[in-house]
Amino acid sequence: MIIDIHGHYTTAPPALGQWRDRQIAGLTDPLMAPRPSELQISDDDLRESIEQNQLRLMDQRGIDLTVFSPRASFMAHHVGRFETSAEWAAICNELCFRVSELYPERFVPAAMLPQSPGVDPATCLPELTRCVEEYGAVALNLNPDPSGGHWTAPPLTDRSWYPIYEKMVEYDIPAMVHVSTSINPAFHTTGAHYLNADTTAFMQLIEGDLYKDFPTLKLVIPHGGGAVPYHWGRFRGLAMALNKPALEQHLLNNVFFDTCVYHQPGIDLLLDVIPSKNILFASEMIGAVRGIDPCTGHNFDDTARYIESAGLNETDFAAITEHNARTVYPRLNALLKQQGR
């Protein structure tokens, strides 16, 4: 079985984006602001958007199930106030839930949080709770930079984040540390901001002692960990200089990396540096890089090909493509068992 732990609803029906445009326009002209009930997306609209896109590619690439969350660049937590994000998150999370209801053996939801710059993260708890208890979300996406590329939020080890971590531990769900759109012209959203955030999050975790307070908390760093595998020696040395334990003890019982790395040498490096128990299969398909690699003739984001070509033994291959996801995402594992898988 192949489980993709990093999928976003990047192909949502156009009506969603049109509603969002009106919501943003309403921030300056309240007469333009739409009500949530004005968004009309039918089940047939959802089927068309999924079957011609994610589901088609999953079938082609042999991916059995995807952990599915709202489009990362659409989260845009910097827009408006907390109420803006709360309304937007509720709508986006509901759509992902509806997709999982239409295709219960192919998609399972993960929650977007209604974060907002300078607002207490505890305000996200009602939406988090609703998504887990009503929608069956098995994970959440946590944005370490709601400001959109200006990094005004405290590090992930700051106690202001603790209400979210406490709820994650209570529900036994992991978070993927995933930023959204950059409004800082110095940082391209997917080419710089995403990868900077992955690297920054890992360094924040090295500097702190978060897992002394939350020994069972699990965080997934996407996109192969940004620069982390390539500079593993640097991070090991920095941990030593900060009088932290070796990274294997300090972080690797709680921090995991996905395989959204879009060429074979990058995947091979990830697999060589990071223990197999800390790697989870993912593709983020129809996401940041959608084209065909002229060097291979295949889509850049067809990460299953890279894993299959990496020369893994049977045990490590099964761990990365299935068993690690079941361990890191206990609610997903319970759902799969309920389905007889």
- Which residues are designated catalytic? 284
Residue with tokens 């060429």: 263
Reduced to 3 states, what is the DSSP secondary structure of residue 120?
coil
The CA R_g of the chain, rounded to the nearest whole Å, is 19
- In this structure, what are the phi and psi dihedrals at residue 58, rounded to the nearest 5 degrees? -60, -45
Apex 265 CA angle, 327 and 197, nearest 5: 60
8 Å CB contact between 262 and 299: no
**Distance, CA of 170 to chain centre:** 20
Distances (CA, A) of 209 to 57, 157, 240, 250: 40, 7, 14, 8
Of 315, 293, 325, residue with least CA distance to 306: 293
The CA-based dihedral angle spanning residues 303, 305, 308, 312, taken in that order and rounded to the nearest 10 degrees: -50
Distance from first CA to last CA of the chain, Å, rounded? 9
Reduced to 3 states, what is the DSSP secondary structure of residue 70?
strand
For 149, other C-beta atoms within 10 Å of its C-beta total 22
Of 228, 182, 178, 180, residue with least CA distance to 203: 228
Of 57, 70, 55, 16, residue with least CA distance to 39: 16
Of 321, 299, 326, residue with least CA distance to 310: 321
